[in-house]
Each structure stands twice: as structure tokens, then as C-alpha cells.
Amino acid sequence: MFKRVNLPVVGRWFVLGTIVGLVAGIGAIIFFTLLQGCAYIFMDYIVGLRIEETAGEPSLFGHATTEFKRWMLFIMPAFGGLISGFLVYKFAPEAEGHGTDGAIEAIHNKNGFIRWQVPIVKTIASAITIGTGGSGGREGPIAQIGAGFASFLGNFLHLTDREKRILTAAGMGAGVGAIFRSPLAGAIFAAEVLYSNSDMEYEILLPSTITSIIAYSVFCSMYGWEPLFATPNFRFANPLELIGYSILGFACALFGYIYVKIFYSTHNFFKEWKINRYFKPVIGGFLTGVIGFFIPQALSGGYSQIELAMLGELSIWFVFVLIFAKILTTSFSIGSGGSAGIFGPSMVIGASVGGFVGLLLNKLIPFAVSDPGAYVVVGMAGFFSGIASTPLSTIIMVSEMTGNYHLLVPAMWVSSMSFLLLRKVSIYKSQVDSRSDSPIHRGEFFIRVLQDLKIKDIMRKDPIVIREDMKFMDIVHFIPTTKHNSFPVVDEHYKLIGVLKFEEIREFVFEEGLEDIVVAKEICDTHPDVVFPDNSLADAIEKIGFKNTELLPVVDSEENLKLLGIITRRDIISTYNKVMLKQKDAQKGEF
């Protein structure tokens, strides 16, 4: 339907991006309202634990004045796990875990298809998980809201598979850009998060920019335009500080590795545990509550702890303990089958890593650490850049979330270190290494590689041939002595006469009287496709696929038709595999 409207490419994406951005922005408003409502009812009113907001977020429902019933932390996250687990496993099992990974998997393997139930279930289940104290973030559900609607719209308008993939990714970026008030980072995140190496889906950038701007504008028009965090005016003004930031880079990589390993060890344990799957989020919620009983700051989103760490109001030992407490509560909440994102908890863990390193170095080498609070900001960027393999979008996102652009240099430095040190570790298991490894690009990379290779470099220069005057009976006895089914037929001067295929002469094998009458040139294909030495392998594979043949004769020219060799389908595929293997080995040895 949409194809009938004659719009230029940019115009098409502007229309589609605007629609997806509007829905993603409205979805972000609904999810944020639902999340705050759940947190107010379950944690604030019933438990009496006040979930503090950041400076840039409004408190929609205020705060209750009930007494803090610490013992209820053993119950409330488990209750949330029970409700969210029922919703997920009953109506949309794909909504389990952190939703961004599901959107990535859909783009790589399903042409962006996401069932319409998934974003709805994900939104409700995640609001309940986080609102009852489960440690989770917002980017998973809001990413699936944007991606899910984009997928629905693409199918409704009968877009091409490529357009549906792009629109789904752009919807994912729109949700992230809106909920974290970071439109530029949301646009880049959608293009960057699909791959674990430094590759991007460049076609997504324009549509995701449009969707992210619209979604951000819709969300902020309702809840304000201030950055998420109120940040002191940190600055980078001394090159010696890179010493301390280098140590932070190693720390981000170390704790990032620990986080990913614990998270997926927990996930695999619950996955393999032979109990009813509906009870797994309940047990995960209970374990989360046990940790929360001793460290309540490790529950829910925990964004307020980031601001406190920036202001220097948390002790060095508390932030150190908070690192492990948040890793465990996130692993239990989401790894057990709960539904929420992992970006928010990762920001808290990264901020805690930065706060711990900053405070420690401030005591040991104060000349290299002017303000430990700056390490909190840089720690957020460096930590998530490493575990998510998204350094560019994360650096920008942290800058937009804090409203501080003076720490770009140390953030770039630490993020690059962490990314390089954690190249084989990622919190997003659906990421692939690069575009050449993605199913959606495998065909185009196959052709691109073949276009750079010449037939003369891999052709077989001494093929088995059949002379044009070979008799039928001799042919029948000759073919079994070889391992081939197709043969070039040539004259005495090695001029190509045609190609003889065994499957095409089978019908004559049992006919009597042909033995000494029929010769090769009379039963071969006298008009075969041919290629020339300077043709590319892409030219050859196109002709092989069109004629569904196993080999092509290589001749010197169209006029002379002198046979120089042959090239087979197997030769081409073998050469492609060798080239790709060399490229992967080269990528492994780059660093």
C-alpha cells in the first residue's frame, strides 16, 4: 500500500519515522507512568521504601509516609516475579529477560518481525518487575515498544524485508532516545548495538535519527527537558588525570567481565533448572529481596545512587559493596526469567565502579584525581561501552543524560580501553561480530567478496575434457573413471564445442544401437555459458546459478573460444570460505 505513494527515499523515511517516533514517544510516556505507579503502590505505599527520583525526573504520585517494613523485601520482589513471570510465559515468552537482545535477534534473524503481543506484555511485566523492587532498567521494554510497533507498521504497509529491518531498528533507537532523554545517542545506538565489533548498520542512521527526535520531543513535552541527572560542573583540564582514568578503564573491563559471567551463569542455571518455569522468577525475586534486605539501594532502578555518588555522598566501601550487590540483584531479577532492561543497572554498576576507583585514587595519588565524582560519570560510559560493545553511542548517551560534555576526552579514553579489553564479552548475546556475520548481509557480502576475485586466479587450468569425436560407448565407460558429471567438449585445436552433462545423457544409456553412431558433439550442449579469465567470481556464480550448472568453461575470447580451463561452484565457495577465514584471523590479530 505504502509503495503506491510516489515519495523519494528521504520522504518515505520521514513519514514512517515520524509515525514510529510518535508511537515510541507515547509508549515511553505510558511505560514511565506505569513504572512510577507500580513503584508507588508496591514499594512506597506497601513496603514503605521510598524510591528516590533523579533531579531530572518528576515524581508523578508523590511519596507515602508509611513506615519502612524491611521484612517485606523478602516478599515483594518475589511477588513481582510471580506476576511478571505469569504474564510473560502465558502470553509472550519472547518478552523474557532484557528486551533489547530480543529486538537485536529479530532484526538479524527474522527481518525485524516482532509479535504485537510482545511490547504490550514487556511493558506491563517490566513495570511490575522494577516497581516491586526487581533490579532492572527501562531500555529493554521501551526498545521493544518502539521496535514492536515499527515491525507491525512494516508488515501492515507490506514494506520490503530490508525496510522492515531498518524501521524496527529505528523504533528501538527511538524508545531508548526518549526514555533516557538522549536523542542523538538513541539514533546511533540503534545502528551500533547490532554488532560486537566496531561495525554499524549505516542504513539505520537516517531513519533512527528521525524516530529518535520525534520520540524524544513527545516524551519531554510531557515530563520536561532537563537531563536525567543533575551533575556538578566536572572538567578535564590536566593530562596527568589520564593515569587515573587508565586504571578506571581496566577496572571497568574487570568488573564488566565479572558482571557478564555472573549474569549468564545465573541465567543458564535457571534455564536448566528442572522446575516449573513460572516459579523461576519468583525464586529470583526472593533472592533479590534477600540482598535488598541488607542493601535496599540495590533494588529497582537505583538511579538516585548515581547522583549521590557524583556529589561524593557515598563512602568508598559502600560503592564497592554496591557493585556486587547490584550485579547479583540484576542477575537474579532478570536472569531468572524476569522482564526488564539491563542498561539502567549497568549504569549504576558503572557509576559505582567509577566512584570506587575515583575515591581510592584520590587517597593514593591525589595529584592525578582532581574530583572523584567525575569518575562516576566516566565509569558509566566506560562500563557499558565494554559490556555492550557500543562505545560511540554510550559516550554520547552519558553526556546527554548528565548534561556534561566536558568529560568527553576521559570518557572516550576509558570507553575505548574497556571496549578493546572486552571484545569477546557482551551482555547482548544476539549481537554478531560484524555485518558479514549477519544473516541479513550474508548474500551481499558473498557477492562483494567475489567481485574482488578474478577467475584466472582460481580456475582449473588442466580440466578433464572429452573430444568431440568420442563415441557414445566410450563416453559411457569414461565417465565412471572420473569424479565429475560435466565435461567440456573440445575439437583437436582445443576449441570449445560445448559441455556434456552426464545427467542429460542417462536416457540414452539403455538404448541399443547408439554405441558407434552417436559422438560427443551431437549430445553435448553446444551453447553453454562461458566466462573469461578477467571476469570476476561474481560473474561466474551468477551464470552458474542462472543455468544451475556445476561448471563453466573459461575461454580466451568469444571469437576464438579456446578452452583455457574451467571453474566450478565448489571452487568458488571454497575460495570464498578461505577469504572470509583470513579476514576473521586478521581481525583477531588486529589488537
Q: Are residues 471 and 518 in the same domain?
A: yes
> Would you state the pLDDT for residue 325?
96
Give the whole-angstrom CA distance, residue 290 versus residue 72: 10
- Judge if 288 and 403 occupy the same domain: yes
Domain contains 233: no
Residue 587 in any domain: the answer is no
From 386, 404, 433, the end of a domain falls on 433
Answer yes or no: is 543 within a domain.
Answer: yes
Asked if the structure places residue 548 within a domain, the reply is yes
Same domain for 146 and 18 = yes
pLDDT, residue 69, reads 92
User: Residue 484: which residues within 8 A CB-CB, separation 6 or more?
Assistant: 464, 551
Single-letter code of the amino acid located at 336: S
Quick one: 22 and 108 in the same domain?
A: yes
- pLDDT at residue 1 in the model: 47
Q: Which residues of the chain have pLDDT under 50?
A: 1-3, 5-6, 591
* pLDDT score of 284: 95
Domain with residue 547: its CATH number is: 3.10.580.10
The continuous run of DSSP H or E covering 555 comes out as: strand 551-555
One-character DSSP codes across 23-57 = HHHHHHHHHHHHHHHHIIIIIIIII----PPPTTS
Phi and psi dihedrals of 520, rounded to 5?
Answer: -60, -45
Choose one of 223, 250, 268: the last residue of a domain: 223
421 domain residue, yes or no:
yes
575, amino acid identity: T
Same domain, yes or no, for 464 and 497? yes
Q: Give the pLDDT confidence score for residue 445 in this predicted structure.
A: 64
Q: Are 180 and 263 members of one domain? A: no
Please say which residue of 433, 468, 484 terminates a domain.
433
Look at residue 588 and tell me if it is in a domain. Answer: no
Q: Are residues 248 and 387 in the same domain?
A: yes
Q: pTM for the complete prediction?
A: 0.81
Which CATH number belongs to the domain containing residue 137 in this structure?
1.10.3080.10
Give me the number of domains the chain comprises: 3
- Are residues 429 and 472 both part of a single domain? no
Do both 464 and 548 map to the same domain? yes
Clarify whether residues 426 and 450 are in a common domain: no
How far apart are the two ends of the chain, measured CA to CA in Å? 49
What is the model's pLDDT at position 442? 67
Task: Residue 493: give the domain boundaries.
Answer: 444-577
Strands 496-501 and 486-490: antiparallel
Q: In this structure, are 162 and 292 located in the same domain?
A: no
235 occurs within a structural domain = no
Instruction: Look up cell 517494613; give the residue.
Output: 69
Q: Is 565 helix (H, G, I), strand (E, B) or coil?
A: strand
pLDDT digits (tens, 9 = 90+) for 517-551: 788 888 888 888 899 999 988 888 878 876 677 88
Q: Are residues 460 and 427 in the same domain?
A: no
Residue type, 566: I
Catalogue the E-assigned strands of 416-550: 466-467, 486-490, 496-501
pLDDT for the residue 253: 96
Asked whether residue 229 is domain-assigned, the answer is: no
